[in-house]
């Protein structure tokens, strides 16, 4: 019996899906239900189902990121989406991230049964090549979203756990993905982002180096200077002088 989890913020739909489909006849068993994405992900991690039937347009949930998170962290899971969101590009992206079927509400019984039977068929066949391809797409989507969020918040005291929570995967899984995609660990990547932010701030001579350090997210000036030199090959002061000379040369060239 394949283990199934149902997730939808409409309790009536969850109840209906639980009772209306011939689960046992299809070789399935509903082992858990949830009414929000966070609860659904928690159940997935606890129960490790074979099949997930979910709405990905729920309050406070980035549906595509959630779909990618599920496929990235649990590559063997089969997932279909049941949603009222009618957008072809959105549906197409969901399919590339590993969604088996994109069903528009209200779906009839035949469509739902066909989706479940197809997911069972894929599980029966294992489909290793397709799973791996979808998995790579999901990995990339998760990392891209994580890096974008990190850049937006790099000057704050963020943790790997906060980034992982934003993209709906575990800390361990995100750490592995970031290292695989960038070749860097989380802390080194964060430091590099902060150094790039510091470079922008240093271009303004009115910004004192001490203020730049704290504004860029470093806890103290000494650590900032050491990290900056390690990653750029010069101290913050040397970098500022270099930028000033470069700017002066460009201006002189323009005036000729």
Q: What is the pLDDT of residue 256?
A: 55
Cα dihedral sign, 179-185-189-195: negative
Q: What distance in Å separates the CA atoms of residue 107 and residue 139, rounded to the nearest whole number?
A: 30
Report the relative pairing of strands 51-54 and 2-7 from DSSP bridges. parallel
Q: Which residues, including other chains, have CB under 8 Å from residue 12's CB and lie 6 or more apart? A: none
Give the CA distances from residue 240 to residues 98, 105, 201, 203, in Å, rounded to whole numbers and listed in that order: 47, 58, 10, 6
What gap in Å lies between CA 185 and CA 173, rounded to an integer? 12
Which residues fall within 8 angstroms of residue 51, CB to CB, at 6 or more apart?
Answer: 2, 3, 4, 5, 28, 77, 78, 79, 80, 116, 119, 120, 123
Whole-structure pTM value: 0.80
Determine the average pLDDT of the residues in 89-106: 86
The Cβ-side half-sphere exposure at 88, using a 13 Å CA radius, reads 0
Return the DSSP state at 76. Answer: T
Can you give the length of the chain in residues?
Answer: 256
The CATH number of 2-135 is: 3.40.50.2300
Q: What is the pLDDT of residue 127?
A: 58
Question: What is the average pLDDT across 134-149?
Answer: 91
| CATH no., domain 188-255 | 1.10.10.60
Q: Do 188-255 and 2-135 have the same topology in CATH? A: no
pLDDT in tens, 174-231: 999 999 999 999 999 999 999 999 999 999 989 999 999 999 999 999 999 999 999 9
**Cα(151)–Cα(36) distance, integer angstroms:** 28
pLDDT at 131 (0 to 100): 46
Q: How far is CA 50 from CA 4, 53, 87, 123, 162, in A?
A: 6, 10, 27, 8, 28
At how many degrees (to 10) do helices 221-232 and 236-255 cross? 60
What gap in Å lies between CA 127 and CA 152, rounded to an integer? 38
Q: Tell me, what's the pLDDT at 236?
A: 93
Domain locations in the chain as residue ranges:
2-135, 188-255
């Amino acid at each position: 019996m394949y283990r199934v989890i149902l997730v939808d913020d409409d309790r009536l739909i969850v109840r209906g899906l639980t009772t209306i489909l011939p689960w046992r006849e299809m070789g399935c068993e509903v082992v858990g239900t949830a009414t929000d994405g966070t609860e659904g992900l928690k159940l997935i991690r606890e129960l490790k189902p074979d099949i997930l039937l979910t709405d990905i347009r729920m309050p406070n949930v980035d549906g595509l990121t959630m779909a990618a998170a599920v496929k990235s962290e649990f590559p063997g899971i089969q997932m279909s989406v049941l949603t009222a969101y009618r957008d072809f590009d959105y549906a197409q992206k969901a399919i590339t991230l590993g969604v088996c079927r994109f069903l528009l509400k209200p779906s009839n019984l035949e469509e739902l049964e066909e989706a479940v039977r197809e997911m069972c068929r894929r599980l029966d066949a294992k489909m290793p090549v397709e799973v791996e391809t979808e998995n790579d797409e999901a990995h990339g989507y998760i990392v891209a979203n994580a890096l974008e969020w990190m850049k937006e918040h790099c000057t704050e005291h963020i943790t790997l756990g906060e980034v992982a929570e934003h993209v709906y995967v575990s800390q361990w899984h995100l750490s592995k993905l970031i290292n695989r995609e960038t070749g860097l660990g989380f802390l080194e990547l964060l430091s590099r982002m902060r150094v790039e932010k510091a470079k922008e701030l240093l271009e303004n001579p009115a910004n004192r180096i001490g203020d730049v350090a704290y504004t860029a997210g470093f806890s103290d000036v000494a650590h900032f200077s050491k990290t900056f030199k390690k990653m750029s090959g010069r101290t913050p002061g040397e970098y500022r002088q270099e930028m000033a000379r470069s700017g002066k040369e460009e201006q002189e060239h323009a005036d000729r």
